[in-house]
Structure 1
């Protein structure tokens, strides 16, 4: 009987392990697991052994992501309509950049389909998936996750196996890129698109750090028969009311551009502001990423009157209580704590409870606006404070600054255990204790729903690719069993 994949890796000699890691990292880089830095393309780290779980478990997590996102999107409409008061609606709108806000104010009621959403989670000590945040603007890493799995499987077969059929193993594992394509086409069909194999423009900004992933996705879409190309945001023009770039007139526009980073004078900005008929997916929807919305959802889940006001049904409130950590907007005024206890002074309470809390900027990305109470005071967190507020501050002063600025939330920290993993590079393998999160992909308003995910690893409990994290292959138990059967 062949060994398990983990056992085969563990049995490698130091030299063989280094050679495996070098091949694995090189293969991942060549496939597109890299970011574009000022000095050129740089590798995104990959780790091993993979995270392995039954496909049904990953699909279950994706179903939680879909249900949570759908509830959040519906409650967002009620909140922005002013159901909980005009002052709260204004506070939510005020967190957005001017061009984003102008679009959201006009269109938030019209967003009924999302082709792709990434829901970032931690699995708590009881094995429950806890939703930390929802990414619907640029919910990346579908390609990165597929690349990590492909590079790992191919390298195992080459170095440890009989050169078996990698394609069959990867097919058993599923593909986030394939799920994304199915969702894009489903949205296109739902909006009246009729082309049998619609062409796709993957829109990106100049110098986009994730261009390697977009090129991988475009190649994956082309392999399925679509004319798919990466397209600069500045290269799009309007001809006869249709988006074009040179002779290419794509049927679908896949948005990988923040509206806040787009010159409002560009033709593409016109499409962002009025996407009807352009098959733009996802439309401009930064409000759905606001952690303040998640805070309002969390608060309503334990308040029957608030839940009724926002149209949150009892079963949905139960879903939120189970899967969304206690989260509140960091603002003056009384609220309730994780156990339902009254909190008269949120600032004083946050100071006293710092070890169990995380402070987050409501609309931000890349881990830049995240402060962990238990770790606050180390150089990395103090530098983030300097970057945000111009100087290092005490924990209490940090909270007061966040309250004064507005647009911050507090969230109960979900414990995340470390795993022993090897970081692969062209130089070999470095064994480290790392934090590993998990994200689930989903969509809203169309079927079929994605069932995959991605895992990231980092030496910091703020797990993020942009802050030094890497990708760990997420393999189904079924695909891993096929891979193990090919081992020598």
Structure 2
């Protein structure tokens, strides 16, 4: 696909203004608390993958997600359940204790990867709000339409090209319908609510999803916690909703309590309405992910979680060595016996990354090889109020129990890539980006919908879309080939 990328680079200044403008208009943006929006940049250079590889990564994510759900359940019914429950906020804990046994069907999960040498290495599993289905579709759709028109691809055939590339919004919709049918004896919902905060940071993405759900045939609306009531149904503005898609962090409810919604989230899959993405914090906590890695060395963990051979093979093939970060002996990344884990990590900073077990947005993530740099110093200063060497940080994080403490993970060496970033004013900025790949999946459905992925780029190795960077359109090689043929014919 290098010829396609070369063509895009040569024409980027012509397509960038429309790419930036239309993507922003469609909702590729972050919303601030005051309701104003800030564009999320899009790149003029996409990530191009064979459709078969996109499917393979989603299938891998399905096995990893299923294994993580099982591992969380095994820990919660075991003797050390407190180590996992203690990582959660008060309301998260209450909801986890009420629902974990029933939270076996998750309509959507997202596994975040770094790709090294062609191999996707899973960094974490997202199960609370696995967002960006809308962002990914906005980026891909805008790219295909803008580039297609500029490359003189037949206008009447653009819709077929979009269908060929796939849609995460459509996959999410089908997952929700399949889950609803499983809970309601094959029936379909008449109404769908997308539950979210007012001025949520991703409200523009949710509006996009709501519009797509309506296009797919659903009577769908955005609904906010203060609008919901009902003694035996989920009702907002006098309208009863059968199915609820939750885009609402439990911690936000602790900031602005809503007793009705808190009670609603405490019953899975719901009595007043069906909701299929329960606040499964126990699944997303990195302590659970660390146990997946540990299960490769300790068969008893795999047996307790009843992991299948396929699930264990997925862990073996894609999960980097990860452990709970605490003093004492363990098995090291190369299978060697380590007398003290903290001492090993302190002595070899270039090999490891420390992550708070339960936190959002990459705020408490520390790369050993960045020790001494300005970004490292700033992160440590924000987290602990004073600069620290790597050895001092290791000692501090090993003793820090907030959010379940820390996990340590072997670094995945994914080198930066050169991309063309479309700035909000339409200019093109050559940028060196660290690029991650996130693949969606479902757990507990009879079949997986046609999930795809989303790619984010950041100048920092700690990639988080709200904190900066941009979205890279994910395009199948077949779509790229068709666009290139149109360009060469023109």
TM norm. shorter chain > 0.5: yes
State the distance in 2 between where 1:107 and 1:439 align: 27
Deviation string for 1:235-262 (max 9, x for gaps)?
211x231111112222111110011211
Deviation string for 1:351-407 (max 9, x for gaps)?
112101010111112111111110123222222222222222221221222121122
Specify which of 109, 115, 118 is matched with residue 117 of structure 1. Answer: 109
Unaligned runs of 5+ in 1: none
SS at match of 1:288: helix
Aligned residue number for residue 475 of structure 2: 475
State the distance in 2 between where 1:306 and 1:177 align: 35
Contact in 2 for aligned 1:335/1:346 (Cα 8 Å): yes
Q: 1:315 to 1:442 in 2, by over 3 A?
A: closer
Aligned residue number for residue 259 of structure 1: 250
SS at match of 1:161: coil
State the distance in 2 between where 1:258 and 1:114 align: 16
Deviation string for 1:129-173 (max 9, x for gaps)?
211100111101100000001111111123232453321111000
Specify which of 85, 99, 112 is matched with residue 107 of structure 1. Answer: 99
State the distance in 2 between where 1:396 and 1:131 align: 26
State the distance in 1 between where 2:146 and 2:351 align: 41
State the distance in 1 between where 2:289 and 2:457 align: 24
| 2:454 maps to 1:454 | yes
Aligned residue number for residue 175 of structure 1: 167
* 1:69-148 alignment runs, 5 A limit: 69-82=65-78, 86=79, 88-125=80-117, 127-148=118-139
Aligned residue number for residue 430 of structure 2: 431
Contact in 2 for aligned 1:264/1:270 (Cα 8 Å): no
State the distance in 1 between where 2:465 and 2:152 align: 31
Contact in 2 for aligned 1:458/1:470 (Cα 8 Å): yes
Deviation string for 1:178-217 (max 9, x for gaps)?
0000001111111116654532111111220100100000
| 2:350 maps to 1:352 | no
Aligned residue number for residue 372 of structure 1: 367
Aligned residue number for residue 59 of structure 2: 63
Measured on the aligned residues, the alpha-carbon RMSD in Å equals 1.7
Aligned residue number for residue 332 of structure 1: 327
Aligned residue number for residue 409 of structure 1: 407
Deviation string for 1:441-484 (max 9, x for gaps)?
00011123343001111111111102212100001111222222
State the distance in 1 between where 2:465 and 2:386 align: 25
Specify which of 176, 181, 185 is matched with residue 189 of structure 1. Answer: 181
Q: CA deviation at 1:265?
A: 4.1
> Which deviates more, 257-266 or 451-460?
257-266
* 1:148-167 alignment runs, 5 A limit: 148-164=139-155, 165-167=157-159
Q: CA deviation at 1:308?
A: 3.0
Contact in 2 for aligned 1:118/1:441 (Cα 8 Å): yes
> Which deviates more, 314-323 or 450-459?
314-323
* 1:371-410 alignment runs, 5 A limit: 371-406=366-401, 407-410=405-408
Aligned residue number for residue 266 of structure 2: 273
Q: CA deviation at 1:264?
A: 4.4
Q: 1:129 to 1:96 in 2, by over 3 A?
A: same
Specify which of 204, 208, 215 is matched with residue 212 of structure 1. Answer: 204
Number of aligned positions between the proteins: 476
Aligned residue number for residue 317 of structure 1: 312
State the distance in 2 between where 1:282 and 1:330 align: 29
State the distance in 2 between where 1:270 and 1:254 align: 16
State the distance in 2 between where 1:345 and 1:451 align: 42
State the distance in 2 between where 1:350 and 1:428 align: 43
> Which deviates more, 181-190 or 389-398?
389-398
> Which deviates more, 59-68 or 448-457?
448-457
Contact in 2 for aligned 1:441/1:450 (Cα 8 Å): no
Specify which of 46, 49, 55 is matched with residue 45 of structure 2. Answer: 49
Q: CA deviation at 1:268?
A: 0.9
